[in-house]
Structure 1
Amino acid sequence: MDTVSTRRWWAVVAMSLALLAGGLDLTVLNLALPTLAVSLHAKTSALQWIVAAYSLVLSALLLPGGLFGDRWGRKKFLLLALVLFGGASLWCAYSGSPNELIAARAALGAGGALLVPLSLGVLPSLFSEAERPRAVSVLLGSTVVAYPLGPILGGWLLKNYWWGSVFLINLPVTLIALVAVAFLLPESRAEKPPWLDVGGIVLSSAGLTLLTYATIGAAWGTWKTWLEIVGGLLILLLLVAWERRVGRQEGKTPLIELRLFKSASFSWGTILATMVSFAMFGILFTVPQYFQDVRGTDAMGSGLRLLPMILGLIIGAAAADRMVAAIGPLGPKTVVTVGFVVMAIGLFLGTAMSQTSSDVFMAVWIGLTGAGVGFSLPTSMDAALGQLSKDASGVGSGLIQAVRQTGATFGVAILGTIVSNAYTSKLNLAGLPAEAAAAAKKGIAGGVAVAQASGSKTLMQNVLDAFSHGTLVMLFICGGLAVVGGLMAVVFLPRQERSSEDDAEEGGTAATSDSGAGASGTSGTSGTSGTSGAGTPGPVGI
């Protein structure tokens, strides 16, 4: 590997470290909430806002973040994102009140909104079509790795240090990424700066924020939640109408290029990636609770038992990269299909688990599920990413990210609700006082607390059996979703076609970008889009 190529890959590793820090922040925060409630005298409502502030700001700024990079320089805004992320982490660690921590978490979300789309947005100007899937796998893998590592690292920190340490772990990683991006990543921006679509920014931010806010609470039985969801969808419909109008005006470019959705590779790549995220985040939300509350592990033990998912993902992503290259034009369709099939096998196998299942059995189905994700997620995302012009790679990546982020949020909310409903349907609370019964129905933690307080082993077993039932129902639904995803990939995901531009740039474009690595010069690119699928030209919710 030559020096130029090495610099490119080290830049990707640096960005993946920053994304890892973001993923760790989300997972360790949940562990720290009980401590924050005591140390900051935070009420339950304040704790909810501490968690929600990041997601709300991230959703609002994903698309504008990509646009800013396309217009004023992707490297410049990546550096800004890292400075903002590191500074906000420091602010979080030393916040003195719940309101201050909420504000710091919002600033952290703003940094993430720049970091997430632009880390993917720089890839088209750095890598050829053949190399790009591997780079996508590295970036995506870093965020998935955070979910098992977060409880392990967070549990150790909270056991040995004060609560602010869970935020300070971001600082060294962010500093390394900051230095690496500054010296290894070439600057790139659109050759013709896109028009600043203020109307599109306002509408997209409002619609995505309202949808995210509605699903965070997941109170599906209330009219308020449904009103918020309908309101968010109506705003997004207004966004589509606005973008069509802007697209017809000369000299103006819409925030979202709606013509991208005419490409089967872009549309189905984004849809399939979102389906994987929907299932994966629902699983990662529920299975740790199963380990801790049903099987009796602590947070660190739960993280250790999820490590097979990392191994599976690494193996799946590495195998997918080789299969795509070996199979040729049908590679993406084949690999994504195989990924969904492997994922379905793992999930259906998981429905056979019981409270006495061995750790080996648990590792097998979790590892298979991870391998399926490793096959399908990077490949489907790359199918969408390959349809973006280099001029619009930032905002295009933001669009794919926004769709995936929304899908992941809905996955946690909907699958979490399914688990909750299945859990309460199996509870036998006859003879309990109304207050105790209501507490048990709120969730597995409440059910265990009520059973412990009552001293009833029968009630305790019923609570554990009920949550086990809910978890198995969720796994079965996710397995069915994986089967549907595999069928969709077979029917709708087109074969990959290399354009003459891609062939010409195979050895040229990446090398041209690399020649400026470490320099502050701008790498201008043409606005022509490569074609990697049947059509012409998805957020990448990492």
Structure 2
Amino acid sequence: MTMPEARPDPRRWWGLGALALALLTLGFDLTILNVALATLSEELPAGTSALQWIVDSYVLVFAALLLPAGLLGDRFGRRRLLLAGMAVFGAASLAGALADGVTGVIVARVFMGAGAAVMMPLSMSILPTIFPPHERTRAVAVWSAATALGLPLGPLLGGWLLENFWWGSIFLLNVPVVAAAGLAVAFLLPESRAADAPRLDGFGALLSTAGLVAFVYGVIEGPVRGWGDPLTLGALCGGLALLAAFTLWERRVAAPLMDVSLFRDRIFVWALGAGIVGTLVMAGVLFVLPQYLQVVRGNGVFGTGLRLVPMLAGLLAGGIATDRIVPRAGAKPVMVAGLAVLAAGLGLGALTAPGDGYGFTATWLTVTGLGIGLAMIPAMDAVLARLPDEGAGRGSGLVQTLRQTGGALGVAVLGSLVSSVYRDDLRLTGLPPDVAEAARDSVGRAAAVAERLGDPALLASARDAYVSGMDAALAVCAAATFLTGALLWTFMPGPPPRGPRPPGGSPEDASESSHEHLAS
């Protein structure tokens, strides 16, 4: 990599704070809507299909635009495009708050997804331009923690806002936060761009966008329609075919949208794999656990968000430990140890019984968060270290595309697994067919039916069945995480042999060498 400046920008930590504030909005925007769906269905009003599109329109656009957004940042200026993305996200949030119907909310969510697709990779690509290698692990830890902090904050803030204000406040919340972050970014962060960034590959962008939209749509529809449904299969197969065509095209085009040479770098590939697994697991846990805390344990929306905090505390502890351990031990041992701790936490969670108290949940959540921090932070640092300076935006777009697509796939597959086990274990003997079908749909509907009928046996059966499904999902995550750690330990290259510092080597040279050791 190109050597950083000997004297980094003194405002870099304040600039990182501005990036963290922007990422905070993206974090809680991913979860805040989940607690508002029931309110939106009554206030707008919106049916099941409309609610699904309110959620999915954001995800589809977000996944599809990450790749071209990174390249455009390299070409036209990362700070400039980041500010444009923040402006789009803020304006779309305001439009969503003021919308008076389902169509307006869906359109606003589309533009929010577009703004977020610009903000996520460019905020990541700015890090190596303002931080020298020896500070980058700490910067990545802050960057990761900002996104993670927003996830449990979503239900907390959403529950409080919906209890005290109208439904549009969940969108309006973004506006002052992103405006403050935008002003800070404009004054605190320097502009950076690649001197020889290629032009946007229009045909490649079309193939990648169409492929990702089709594939993610298939992933979203799989749990709803069934994985064997013709529309689901068609979307998945068509998306994969388009993405395969995109990959072949990128290997031939002179100015590719995606730097395929990165996949020949085993350090990059395995570090990215660890990051994808961490994202998948965190998304999966945050998908299955709120229903357990709300329906099985009987907590409210605000209380549910509060009970997710131990995972964040563990992640922060992992980030602090990583900052101290990685410079001494290297990234590979810490990533493997983190994946082992993560697998242990998930395995412990898979032993959850319906009568267990919150203390047990808090314990395995803390261990899980610690494992995520130990695995993901050095993984993302190693990934950033392998990206060329002139293609940091393009590379960050690729990294975030794979991470977010992996997260969406993980939620869909784990959701299907939970649903399958739940349906198989639910006891519905003696119930009318329409009541049984409603209870089979979800644990939330089963609880509502049981309350309406005054049927404690149905409620107990639904809770037991959901815990069985959650345990199965956590067990699968634990096995996948352990396997990833074993493969990473076996195949990821180790650190290069240390040699004496060359004559006349500067402290900056030593720092760069230390960072290369860290990435390995």
Distance 2:397 2:118 in 1: 9
Q: Which amino acid aligns with 1:203?
A: L
1:251-299 CA-partner distances (Å, limit 9, x unpaired) = x321111111000011111112111211221111000100001010011
1:328-364 CA-partner distances (Å, limit 9, x unpaired) = xxx1110101111111111111123223323222211
Q: TM-score, normalised by structure 2?
A: 0.93
Gaps of 5+ in 1: 247-251, 511-529, 536-542
Q: Does 1:387 align with 2:396?
A: no
Q: Which amino acid aligns with 1:225?
A: T
Partner residue in 1 for 2:118? 114
Are 1:386 and 1:532, in contact at CA under 8 Å, matched by a contact in 2? Answer: no
The structure-2 alpha-carbon separation of the partners of 1:41 and 1:358, relative to structure 1 and needing over 3 Å to count, comes to closer
Q: Which has the larger displacement, 98-107 or 136-145? A: 136-145
Q: Which amino acid aligns with 2:287?
A: F
Shift of 1:195: 2.4
Q: Does 1:193 align with 2:197?
A: yes
Partner residue in 2 for 1:226? 233
Q: Which amino acid aligns with 1:180?
A: A
Distance 1:463 1:265 in 2: 45
Q: Which amino acid aligns with 2:126?
A: V
Partner residue in 2 for 1:364? 363
Pairs aligned (count): 507
Distance 1:78 1:505 in 2: 34
Distance 2:356 2:468 in 1: 14
Distance 1:273 1:68 in 2: 24
RMSD: 2.4
Q: Does 1:285 align with 2:287?
A: yes
Distance 1:383 1:505 in 2: 23
Shift of 1:101: 0.9
SS at the partner of 2:428? coil
Partner residue in 2 for 1:235? 242
Partner residue in 1 for 2:307? 305
Shift of 1:31: 1.3
Are 1:444 and 1:467, in contact at CA under 8 Å, matched by a contact in 2? Answer: yes
The structure-2 alpha-carbon separation of the partners of 1:533 and 1:245, relative to structure 1 and needing over 3 Å to count, comes to farther
Partner residue in 1 for 2:481? 482
In the TM superposition, 1:35-434 aligns within 5 A as 35-218=39-222, 219-246=226-253, 252-327=254-329, 331-434=330-433
Q: Which amino acid aligns with 2:475?
A: F
Distance 2:171 2:137 in 1: 31
SS at the partner of 2:192? strand
1:125-153 CA-partner distances (Å, limit 9, x unpaired) = 11222221221111111111112111111
Q: Which amino acid aligns with 1:222?
A: D
Percent identity of paired positions between Structure 1 and Structure 2: 44
The structure-2 alpha-carbon separation of the partners of 1:451 and 1:116, relative to structure 1 and needing over 3 Å to count, comes to same
Distance 1:435 1:408 in 2: 34
Q: TM-score, normalised by structure 1?
A: 0.89
1:361-382 CA-partner distances (Å, limit 9, x unpaired) = 2211100000000000111122
The structure-2 alpha-carbon separation of the partners of 1:195 and 1:3, relative to structure 1 and needing over 3 Å to count, comes to closer
The structure-2 alpha-carbon separation of the partners of 1:365 and 1:204, relative to structure 1 and needing over 3 Å to count, comes to same
Q: Which amino acid aligns with 1:221?
A: G
Shift of 1:35: 1.5
Shift of 1:449: 2.0
Partner residue in 1 for 2:3? none
The structure-2 alpha-carbon separation of the partners of 1:164 and 1:534, relative to structure 1 and needing over 3 Å to count, comes to closer
Distance 2:380 2:505 in 1: 23
Distance 1:432 1:350 in 2: 32
Q: Does 1:14 align with 2:18?
A: yes
